[in-house]
Amino acid sequence: MKNNARAKDSKIYVAYNSDGFEGARRILEASGASELFKPGMRVALKPNLVLAKPASTGATTSPKVVAGAIEFLKDCGVTDITIMEGAWAGDSTERAWQVCGYRELEKKYGARLLDLKKDRSRIVSVAGMKIEVCVSPLEVDRLINLPVLKGHCQTVMTCALKNLKGCIPDSEKRRFHSIGLHRPIAALNLAIRPDFILVDALCGDLIFEEGGNPLEMNLLIAGNDPVKIDAYGASLMRIPASEIQHLRLAEEMGVGFSEIRPDTVVEVGDKQNFARHGALPSVARHLSQYIEEREACSICYAGLIHMMHRMEKQGKLRSLKEKIHIGQGFKNTRGKGIGYGECASGFDEVIPGCPPKNE
């Protein structure tokens, strides 16, 4: 696999869809990804199966998203497809295949499942570091990174950049933790450079990478620059990119660019018909006491919950005197208090945007 250069003006594609299969096919088609894939190519898919929990928990990549990607590849004439992953140290990739629904993908599409815990490895020198990486992701013609957008207790968030940690042996995963995660994660993205990134942001966990607090966003994100993808994901979670150390380091190393201009994001689908959020996890239910919601879109509501969770950890919610108003039901409504987003712009104080940005 050749290292692909990322252009500073590269686009991010965003699909509003609660159906992972349909959304994956749609965003791949809209992004022009078909130009990357030709008959006879060996293509690998790298999901996030950090542990054996279904995607509904917010921990792992939905098999429906992977199925949509496989069908897209088959339409491009690609038949040699491998799903590669190595669960985190201490858990079984084989068990994750079963629990997360990937054995069904193997049966239906004939895609091979490769446990990278059993793969050969070699040392790669990048950014002044020596990193032991699995060989198989380096030997395919095309690699698609399929991370989940979610929080992380050590790195603040995890998405495209950190998802490649599944492509190193368990011993190297432990070493990453012993020397500090941020720099080796950034450098790893010079050693292994996926050709395309498709982010499952359907219902990532609010806080932890191991799942348990899934919050519906019903969103898929695609592009070829992992730094830009992660910076955009951070903005959806209302996290300043400057707070994500491995993202900053990756940009300094030349992995990609974090700047997101007004013309960077290409929306696929109608945001106005965007699915509403469903049942709230316990953390979100607790924070909803500070919110007055009427017909709020998932992406807007999820971003507000992420922001308020961070405010609560910083001790700032105690000073909030009024509820925050959010949702299409507040269009053309004027009132006292705080409005969140374009739909609630008639209130005295407004956090602007559709959805609001982390600034």
| Distance in angstroms (rounded) separating the CA atoms of residues 163 and 184 | 12
The CA-to-CA distance between both ends of the chain, in Å, stands at: 37
| DSSP annotation string for 105-133 | HHHHH--EEEEGGGS-EEEEEETTEEEEE
Q: Which residue has the tokens 């009132």?
A: 335
Confidence band for 42, pLDDT divided at 50, 70 and 90 = very high
pLDDT of residue 5: 55
Cβ of 322: how many Cβ atoms within 10 Å?
A: 13
Q: Give me the chain's average pLDDT, please.
A: 91
Query: Residue 98 to residues 31, 46, 52, 75: CA-CA distances in angstroms?
Result: 31, 16, 8, 26
Domain 12-271 has CATH 3.40.109.10: no
| Residue 69, pLDDT score | 98
Over 90: is that where the pLDDT of 264 sits? yes
Q: Where are the domains of the chain?
A: 12-271, 282-351
pLDDT digits (tens, 9 = 90+) for 218-256: 899 999 999 999 999 999 988 888 899 999 999 999 999
Q: Is the CB of residue 27 less than 8 Å from the CB of residue 224?
A: no
Predicted local distance difference test score (pLDDT) of residue 184:
97
Strands 219-223, 12-16: pairing kind: antiparallel
Q: For residue 30, with 0-12 CB atoms within 10 Å meaning exposed, 13-18 middle and 19 or more buried, which class applies?
A: middle
Per-residue model confidence (pLDDT) at position 2: 44
Give the residue among 158, 315, 307, 148 at the shortest CA–CA distance from 238.
Answer: 307
pLDDT digit string, tens, across residues 86-136? 998 888 999 999 999 999 999 999 999 999 999 999 999 999 999 999 999
Structure tokens that stand for 108 in this block: 């239906």
Residue ranges of alpha helices (H) inside 182-258 are 182-191, 226-236, 245-252
Looking at per-residue confidence, does 41 or 335 come out higher?
Answer: 41
Confidence check: pLDDT of 1 > 50: no
Split at pLDDT 50, 70, 90, the class of 3 is very low
Give the count of beta carbons closer than 10 Å to the beta carbon of residue 117. 18
SS3 state at 251: helix
> pLDDT tens digits for 135-188?
999 999 999 999 999 998 889 899 999 999 999 999 999 999 889 999 999 999
